[in-house]
Structure 1
């Protein structure tokens, strides 16, 4: 029986066909930032005050300035208060002018915003004063959708395939994302956003899986991180589009409608040949492999195709196996905490783009600009310094940047923004490193379960990040202190993990750590060299022996 890796050797580990597949699965990631942080540009603060039209019944000829002066209290700075008004009374206008009003109350009749202001999520749904927390709650509900999507679509892709789940999720994002632009009520908007979050999570999971399964072993980090770079480009695109489109409904459409252009994926997006083989759908796998070979201008020997069969099923691992084995227990706990800290600091910085003091569009552009080199640099950092040191140092630096920001005076907006950009760079690189490191630390039989558990941990901190921002009402430094402390602590724990650079992946839970490449040679040497495909196997054996 032919090993699937032999087909990847013939196709090329990262040939033209695989590059085209990576392009297809990466295009939807361009719109990912519009969902993750786009809402921050829909709730920009605008001047507002309580609706005091009640006084018009008493003095219909009052000018706007007279109306505000009689019906709104002033703060210590002399400006009209935005969230309180004088309580309505049954007096005549002369009495109000003579004696004045003293009793105040919260805005009970809504708010008034500047005329000519483009429609925003803030002004349409009154996300101000005692309702401003609904903005962060809405963002947490979106993050909860990401969690649900990780649970639902991860298992579904193993059951019905990567391709149909990818098509379903891009359709869901397009439909419910555009639908959110027409939401008549905030709670309808939240519900639609939750579904969009689930769809985005499904896209991320299946994109990672397809990128991993369509390339050779040595090209997997490159394929995964290149697809991540499309998200970085989307970050920069978000800054430009949100600057030009101030109407929140149009911005919502701009961030989701392009998904419908990807309808042609029905005809061009391939299924994972590796997954088809595991499901014993051999004829379909052969067609997909032959199509890839034709595109790459190579030929798969017919005798090798005949040997393509599903491997004997290895006993599946369960989530309990992650905690029964001492080594796996340590890996699971530390990597779950790593993903938690990665997500917390990443979203903590991303969602605070409006609080750093400089123009938010320039800040967002800078955030996107640093993500691109951050993700690309991981390809080299992981090879030069190893997985453990890279992961630990990047996580430590991202946390330290947040902690340093807490000690910078508020009026030093340039310094704060520079530190935030450095933190965003290291947080992005750390998150990308976690994807590669996690896949190498968990053995084959438990890898999807281990990675899924880590992803759930990240989604939990993603839900918490917007809620932590609410603590800024008590002190500005509290959110950044909470965003920065866990990464520092977890970064130190990462030094307890084993190094996986240059090691073969472990296959079962009995292996303490991933083994060096000699394991492949040992396994291959035990195989019977049959007449069919003998030359190919000998070539592979010779090549491996030479390298070792």
Structure 2
């Protein structure tokens, strides 16, 4: 028997697995907090230059009527420049455009506190010439996710899923709290970068741990459960941020509870599959017996582990493979490049929409709540469409997301509700598409290089995450450029999906020859015996499948 057959004996999703998923889902709430808290901590409130020599008609900051900032395009010029004619009223926007000379804000800025009491932008003046630093900080944080996916994936394979999860939860709490007390933007960014690495470490390995204990028939549902938990955190963040308007207190509120996860040292189990693969069979056997008893299916004492876990001899001699095999042959190269692009496009647009909800100029807390709520039906609908067709599901949801985003550029700026509705539809499509690409990728790649394919796909996804925060900078080219890209990328992906095969209810390909349709052995590849247990597959965001 392989481990899947062991699970069929002890129960693939019994009480043991359900309790395990409770422990897996709890951290997901705080992972969502850390992922999207920059929407609020890095928000840019309305602001005007504070003059060094106030005029008689505008003697103090109390005269600033920041509510007028959105009533005229001229006010945006007063956000980053001040009239040198100090005898002119500061709040008379006609002074800009009358040929009067202007200077960069000599006395700093005055910020509205109507929505936010304090953000990193107001504390460190990340506006005007320094506005790019705010977006750069978000990209650096996303780079942490990319590094964490690579480093902690390797460490988890070497030292075990449980150990890496525990270490990452501890680092996340320590550095998250540290970020709340950062004395400068540079230190804050560095601390957030470390937190970003732990996000990947926890998401990826928590999902791995869960799927390695779950039977094949229940893995798709189990994956959706953790997605729901992450979505709940997305929604809850809107309420937490609404109640806590100071960025330091908000950062502390989402980080300090992480210390409570110290009890995971006693309740979080190891992966029996990983223990067996690393020749620690006695430990694995103890865990299997415990799971069997909790599931009400105790095993007989005379059942030898070595008899239960041996690779089917029919697998025969296996070849050594590497990531080069993903692009070495024509059909495999086409599949790989398309899937890699789909990973990139999905994550790029997902975070492009999620991190820039303030661009829709509606109440930021309400918009965050709506964008979180829309994830629930988006993830649920995939349960009904995936079994019918992977290909059509992926294609359709990409088309819906891309079309909705593209339509926003034709909506007048004053119709905020319509633009937000279309963006919400775009988020719906992209969220569903992102859930599908996990399953689809695992079925498109053959078994011998599936791990490599999913790993590189995950890296492409994280690259999209790194670029997404910089999307806002394209508004300097055109105000509609960000949403144009958010629409174009999924539509291109939808067209490319037509070139992928249908995999629903089809046997998984095991070798490259299964895909290419001919024997590749004549190419002189080294053939060596390589009998090993089935290797679980990683997916972006931490998911796995066999």
TM-score normalised over the length of structure 2: 0.84
Shift of 1:316: 4.7
Q: Partner residue of 1:134?
A: 133
Q: Deviations over 1:396-426 (max 9, x none)?
A: 1111111111111111111111111111111
Q: Partner residue of 2:445?
A: 442
Shift of 1:206: 0.8
**Cα gap change, 1:55 to 1:395, in 2 (>3 Å):** closer
Q: Partner residue of 1:381?
A: 385
After TM superposition, the structure 1 = structure 2 runs for residues 301-340 of structure 1, keeping only pairs within 5 Å, are 301=300, 302-309=302-309, 311=311, 315-340=319-344
Structure 2: distance between partners of 1:85 and 1:306: 79
The structure number with the bigger radius of gyration is 1
Between 1:145-154 and 1:313-322, the stretch displaced more is 313-322
Shift of 1:115: 7.5
Shift of 1:304: 4.4
Could you say what secondary structure the match of 1:49 adopts? strand
After TM superposition, the structure 1 = structure 2 runs for residues 16-27 of structure 1, keeping only pairs within 5 Å, are 16-27=15-26
Shift of 1:377: 1.8
Could you say what secondary structure the match of 1:512 adopts? helix
Question: 1:341·1:461 contact (CA, 8 Å) conserved in 2?
Answer: yes
Q: Partner residue of 2:78?
A: 81
More relative contact order, 1 or 2 (CA 8 Å, 6+ apart):
2
Question: 2:11·2:297 contact (CA, 8 Å) conserved in 1?
Answer: no
How large is the Cα RMSD of the aligned pairs?
2.8
Question: 1:49·1:113 contact (CA, 8 Å) conserved in 2?
Answer: yes
Shift of 1:487: 0.8
Question: 2:36·2:355 contact (CA, 8 Å) conserved in 1?
Answer: yes
Shift of 1:278: 1.0
Structure 2: distance between partners of 1:370 and 1:276: 39
The count of aligned residue pairs is 495
Structure 2: distance between partners of 1:125 and 1:322: 46
Q: Partner residue of 1:228?
A: 227
Structure 2: distance between partners of 1:55 and 1:37: 39
**Cα gap change, 1:400 to 1:216, in 2 (>3 Å):** same
2:346 aligned with 1:342? yes
Gaps of 5+ in 2: 66-71, 87-98, 518-546
Question: 1:171·1:259 contact (CA, 8 Å) conserved in 2?
Answer: yes
2:502 aligned with 1:499? yes
Structure 1: distance between partners of 2:461 and 2:107: 41
**Cα gap change, 1:104 to 1:449, in 2 (>3 Å):** same
**Cα gap change, 1:437 to 1:178, in 2 (>3 Å):** same
Between 1:281-290 and 1:318-327, the stretch displaced more is 318-327
Structure 2: distance between partners of 1:469 and 1:5: 46
Between 1:195-204 and 1:41-50, the stretch displaced more is 41-50
Q: Partner residue of 1:169?
A: 168
Structure 2: distance between partners of 1:417 and 1:181: 31
2:479 aligned with 1:480? no
Structure 1: distance between partners of 2:332 and 2:74: 59
TM-score normalised over the length of structure 1: 0.84
Q: Partner residue of 2:122?
A: 123
